[in-house]
Structure 1
């Protein structure tokens, strides 16, 4: 066990393991209902990007943001990386970026219609 901890510390894996632990325990950290409507999209240096299933859920998550941030910090600190996990240190928190659902892509697909004004020319 000590050898494994030393290997994790020597290779700088503690933060990555802590983040993986948060992703794996996401449902138990935030609860069933939030986990059903929200996923972690990115986690970089203390900043977490969440994607909500709808704009109303994005608004709800913004209202719950301080509570969610506190739960994530606690999960990171109790994980394998301890107090230096996931790009945060003692006294610091995480910053949540909450996004609504992804909108439709306006990229061209295949051949367009002649005389059309572009991919958005669908509204009459």
Structure 2
């Protein structure tokens, strides 16, 4: 018989498994972490949605602060004044405003018999109701030019062209006579 205690063959077999398990066991847990990572990566996840791009931020000062700047709301009149100034329309707008007040410029009686027709290249064209009123306004033209230049800025109006009334055409029908027609007060 043997000198030591008798060993059961089933116990020997289980003790061999324990010894093998003890040798396979990693006390740091690296193998276990690898197994978990492999099982997680094997799981299919839905694809990530692409991120929406934000518009680029404007550079420069972004806050208006307590002082007014270009981004502050403004009155319509102020916005129109700014637009007229940026486009260089100041002289044209001012001339049309003054010509809208024609009776104030030339007087009520002269305004009843004349009205401004056009303004181009510093020349103001005025139409009158008769040749007598055209003569009267031609005599008054230098003072009117000085007054307009004073209100609008020097050199805005260089000359006033005064015209009489439009004459009717005397060329009616097949048989018309050559010449100017009746000589009346048609300027």
TM-score, length basis structure 1: 0.69
Contact 2:113 2:128 in 1 (8 A): yes
Matched, 1:100 2:164: yes
Question: Structure 1 residue 107: deviation in Å?
Answer: 6.0
* Number of aligned residues: 105
33, 57, 71: which one aligns with 2:109 = 33
Matched, 1:19 2:83: no
Counterpart residue number, 1:59: 135
Contact 1:30 1:71 in 2 (8 A): no
Counterpart residue number, 1:44: 120
| 5+ long unaligned stretches in structure 2 | 1-76, 183-187
Contact 1:49 1:97 in 2 (8 A): yes
1:65-80 pair list within 5 angstroms: 65-75=141-151, 77=152
Determine the C-alpha separation between the residues in 2 that align with 1:2 and 1:21.
Answer: 17
RMSD: 2.7
Tell me whether 33-42 or 8-17 shows the greater mean CA deviation.
Answer: 8-17
Determine the C-alpha separation between the residues in 2 that align with 1:33 and 1:72.
Answer: 19
Higher RCO, 1 vs 2 (CA within 8 Å, ≥6 residues apart): 1
Q: Which has the larger radius of gyration?
A: 2
- In structure 2, relative to structure 1, the CA distance for the partners of 1:91 and 1:49 (3 Å cut) is closer
1:82-93 pair list within 5 angstroms: 83=153, 90=154, 93=157
| Greater share of strand | 1
| 5+ long unaligned stretches in structure 1 | 78-82, 84-89
Question: Structure 1 residue 93: deviation in Å?
Answer: 4.3
Determine the C-alpha separation between the residues in 1 that align with 2:104 and 2:156.
Answer: 22
TM-score, length basis structure 2: 0.48
